[in-house]
Structure formats: structure tokens, C-alpha cells
Amino acid sequence: MGEKLQFTELDQYLFGQGTHYDIYRKLGAHPTIQRRKKGVYFAVWAPNARSVSVVGEFNNWNTQANPMKKVGPIGVYETFIPGAKVGDLYKFYIIGYHGEELYKADPYGNEAELRPGTASRIADISDYKWKDTTWMKRRPEFDEIRDPMAIYEVHPGSWKKHEAKDEDDPGFYNYRELAHELAAYVKKMGYTHVELMGIAEHPFDGSWGYQVTGYYAPTSRYGSVQDFKYMIDYLHRNKIGVILDWVPAHFPKDAHGLANFDGTAVYEHEDPRQGEHPDWGTKIYNYGRPEVKNFLIANALYWIEECHVDGLRVDAVASMLYLDYGKKDGEWVANKYGDNKNLEAIEFFKHLNTVVLGRNHGTVMIAEESTAWPQVTGKAEDGGLGFSLKWNMGWMNDFLEYMKLDPYFRKDNHNKMTFSMTYAYSEKYVLVISHDEVVHLKCSMVNKMPGYPEEKIRNLKAAYAFMLFHPGKKLLFMGQEFGQLREWSEERELDWYLLNEKPHQDLQEFVKTLLHMYTKYPALYAGDNDPDGFEWINADDAYRSIFSLVRKSPTKRNNLLFIVNFTPVDRPDYRVGVPKKKQYKLIMNEHGLLEKPEVFKAEAQECDHREFSFDYPLPGYGVAVFTY
């Protein structure tokens, strides 16, 4: 509840410039008191509407009861409705430009009716009492270049489920239940962050949340906006960062959504060659329109500033940067220079990242960008896009191609595992094995691996160890840590029952050991973007499919030597070259941590083009980690 709300001349000016960064405090539905009456202030942008009114539970959905008044030339409509209250459902009833009748959900609504309902729900976003002060005070000190990031990618609706009460009950966990279960699991495993899919409201479960209709509303599938804030709060109190998937690339055509909002193209381009994705059947935002840019940038700030989220993973960046993305000749329009770069989207990213990161030190903006676009993580003032980090799709594709091969053929594809180091410092990377890799008949991670079940698990342990020692932040999709056998489906929970079987327990324990090792040793993260932090011992042992490398700590203490064998062949006579004549302490092998580390002394014997070396009997699919 607050002071009398109205859409002022200053609001109109800033919104028209695209710089009204807390516009969500004005547009939408806000409980307040006016002339001593409790009620709700409503405001909506519908520049080409003939008229707009609010319909809802408070007026029996009567289209005549609460007409809105147009304020200023920009096309914002406002009204105050006494007696409307938190929890009531509502929509905007719009007579469109061509006289059509439209019933639209609130683009700035903070809560929505549970699907299949499509109305917005009045919420009060100001009445949550945060308890994560310690986290928020320390957040500005977080530095994604220098600090560890091990991200657990989670789809909340299918991580865990309750027994369904009836066929209409999807068995979802509430945000509050999820907070407690997820925090306990993530802490135990050693992840530093969770990345949540499908949080913004969306009509269709099968879109996984990538076709958004309520950008300012955490989905009601798992509870209210207060429940959502509780989850973030609780994760923070358990020292876990929260990243959300965010989808500014496109939106669906659902009748209650943003498409054709007032009978004209408001949020999208009018020309279908600019305003539609033929492959996805969705609309493309008009990034050149200030009010549209404002809608999206303020939305990013809403999640980070109002909901305390620590970062956004921006989906489908490539589809925004290229005008011809997924399009044939004649289906797109070139820019003023005659090429395929979306100049307005480039400016949008620079503006977005500069504002979000400039106002919120210690947060991250992560690009899911699948091409070789230069300087995605370069500074905006130097011609970059200004992202903090970029998903390393090149590494992921090569890595998975290699791991799928029968070990016999890996020797001919050795460069797939080493090539990524030729461009490892061109951007600031996250190594990802995301939900996209375990759907659409691509197989689960464990079933991508060659061999019998036991061999698949050994392969996967070696693969995860290699991923951990390769420079870059880490992301694993839920279920991959214990060897989920089936592909992921949003319709069912993960196959947790597999943890009754020893191979899956062993894999989970191995991943846990790797993650705790990752956060313990600065050598594994502090030098991710420093060429001095990584060194191959032998990158060319293709015939035996063995890789050896060193990760160096910025303090020079607790450097790590790593060896991995990607064939089932034991190498009892294996010898490894080392950087210095020191003692090398074996702390972990393919079975996990050693209770008592074993010491190996380097001798003056040339190996791997180095003066010093030592013998280590390397088993098939062996993993060895030494500190020195």
C-alpha cells in the first residue's frame, strides 16, 4: 500500500526514452489507498487502442464498469478501482485499432491464474520481508572471473514431484518446499549456484518456460510471488546463488499474451519478415522501439532488484543478433548496411548489460550464444556486447562427440578434446551440459557413453573429471550427476530410485567429490581466464587417448596435475612428465578421494618433453589428481 499512484509526465518522458528502469512500479496492478479508500491502481500501455477497461472478479467481468483514462500522448491508460484487492483475477478489455474486442493478461502483472486459466492476479510485491541481508551485502564482492561457479540447472516442476492426488494434479512442489529440498541437496553436492528454468509465467508445460506470456510473474504452478521470493531468500541464506533463464528473444502468439496487443504490432515488428520466427511459430520483439526495450530491461531489473536473483542466463542470443536466423531468402530484411546483423538488438544488449551490471555489482549476465560472434563478453564501450559469461557450445559439441565414440576410435578424434584450448581465452566461458543435450532422442548423458552399463559409468566419471579440470565455469543439468538413464521429460520427476543401485550412488559420490574439490582449490577456477593458469603436459598422446595437464593456482600453492585415460586399456608402465622436481601427492583417482594420499617423487628422467617425470600405473578409464 502506498501513496496515490499516477502516471506522471516524468513517467511518460522516461518510458518514451526507454529509460524508466522501475516502470513495473507504475504499469501493472498496484494495491494502494486513494481518497481514504483501499483499492488497486491499474495502468497499461496500449498506444493504438480505441478504448481500454479493466474487467475482473471485483466487477463481475463487466466491460463497462471500469473504463480507463488515456494519459498523455504515449498511449498509457490508468484507473483506480476501490474495492479491488490482492488475489482478485483481472484482464484488460481492449477495443483494438480496427474495432476488435481483445481480452489481454497484464504484461506487467506480478501473478497469473494457474493454467489453463489465462487471467492475471492482483499481487502485492512490496510486502515480503527479506532475511538475506548478509548475502545481499556481500553480493557486490562476487567476481565471476576470480570466484568458483558450479551451476546446477533445474526445472522445478520435474526435479521432484509429490504423488498426484488425481489425474488433474501435476504433483508440483511449492516454491517453499522446493527451497528446503533444493538447498539441502545443492549444498551436499557442492554446487555454488542453481539455474532455474521456466520461472516466468507460460501457458504450455511442454515449452519448458521458453514461450513466456507473463514476464513479471513467477509461474503460479509452484505458488505465489511471495512463495517465490521465499525460495530465493532461503537459497541465499544457505549461501547458494540463483540464476534464472530469461527469454527476451521471442514470445508466443497466445490470444491473451503480448501479440497484437491493441490490435496492432505493439511489442513485435509489424513486418512478419522482421517480427516472426518461422521455425518457432513465435513473435520477435521490436528492439528499436523505446517502450519495448524498456519493458525488457526493466524486467531484467525486476528479477534482480525486486526478487534478489543473482543473474540471468539469456536464451537464444544468436537468434536476436542475426536478422536471418532460421530464415530462408525472402523471409528476412537486411539492415541499412545491407547485411544480416540486427543493429537494434546489438544496441539493446549493450544497454541491457551496462544498466543491469552497472547497478548490481556481483550479478551475472550469461549469454547462450551458439555462433562465433566476436566479443560477446567484451565491454560495451570497446564494441563488445557486455555479457559477464558465455555458454561454451563449441567445447560442449566437441566433448560430447568424442565421448560418444567407441574408445577404439577416440585416437583419431583426439583434437576434439584439445581444440577448445585454442580459443579458451577469447571469451569468458561456462562449460555446459544443459537440458538441451538430454532430450529429443539425444540420449541421457550415461546412455551417450559407449560400452556395457558398468563401462558407461566409468566413461562418464572420466568425462566429468575432464570437464572439471578444463578452464571455464561449470553447468550440469539435474539428473546427470547420478546417471539418469532416461531422457529428461518435463512430465515426470527424475529417476531418483536409481540411487538404490551402487553404480549410480558411486557416480553421484564421484561428482560430489569433484565439485567439493573444485571449490576448495583456487587452481581450478581463479585462473580460468589467464593463460598462465593452464598448461598441457601432453596434449598429443592420441594413440593411447590419454590427456595430462596442469592447473596452476594464482598463489602458486596447491597446483594440480591431472591425468585421464579415455580407453579401457590399463597402462601399468605409464610415465608422466612434470613441471618441477617436486613431490606429487595423489589425492584422488577414478574411485574418489584417497583416505591416505600417496606420494610420488619426480626423477631426472626426460618424458613429455620435460626433464623430470615419475611412474604412475594408470588403469583403464583411470583418473589421477595430484597436488604439488
Q: How many CB atoms within 10 Å of residue 298?
A: 25
The single-letter code of the amino acid at 447 is N
The residue from 106, 310, 315, 541 that is catalytic is 315
Beta partners for residue 214, in sequence order: 201
The 10 Å Cβ neighbour count of residue 4 is: 10
Tally of CA atoms within 13 A in the half-sphere of 311 that contains its CB = 28
What gap in Å lies between CA 349 and CA 22, rounded to an integer?
A: 18
Q: Catalytic residue, from 368, 437, 481, 528: name it.
A: 368
Q: Is the dihedral of CA 330, 335, 339, 344 positive or negative?
A: negative
On whether the CB atoms of residues 197 and 245 are closer than 8 A, the answer is yes
Tell me the CA distances in angstroms from 326 to 247, 332, 343, 415, 437, one per residue in order.
17, 10, 18, 30, 20
Task: Evaluate the omega torsion of the peptide bond into residue 522 and state whether it is cis, within 30 degrees of 0.
Answer: no
Burial class (CB in 10 A: 0-12, 13-18, 19+), 19: middle
For residue 265, the 8-state DSSP code is -
Please tell me what DSSP assigns to residue 154: E
CA angle 186, 160, 152 (to 5 degrees): 30
Active site residue 305: no
Range list of H helices, 238-342: 272-275, 290-301, 317-321
Task: Name the burial class of residue 116, with classes exposed (0-12), middle (13-18) and buried (19+) by CB atoms within 10 angstroms of its CB.
Answer: exposed
Largest separation between any pair of C-alpha atoms in the chain? 91
Asked if 314 and 386 touch (Cβ cutoff 8 Å), the reply is no
Among residues 384, 369, 279, which one has the least CA distance to residue 322? Answer: 369
Q: Where are the alpha helices (DSSP H) in 258-392?
A: 272-275, 290-301, 317-321, 343-359
**8 A C-beta contact, residue 232 and residue 156:** no
Neighbours of 186 (CB within 10 A): 22
The set of cell numbers assigned to 616 is 604412475
Strand, helix or coil for residue 96: coil
Query: Is 368 annotated in the active site?
Result: yes
DSSP state of 302: I
d(CA 239, CA 412): 44
State the pairing for strand pair 282-283/311-314. unpaired
Nearest in space to 289 (alpha carbons), one of 302, 313, 270, 308: 270
Closest CA to 269 of 258, 283, 280: 283
Q: Which residues pair with 69 in a beta bridge?
A: 78
The catalytic residue positions are: 315, 368
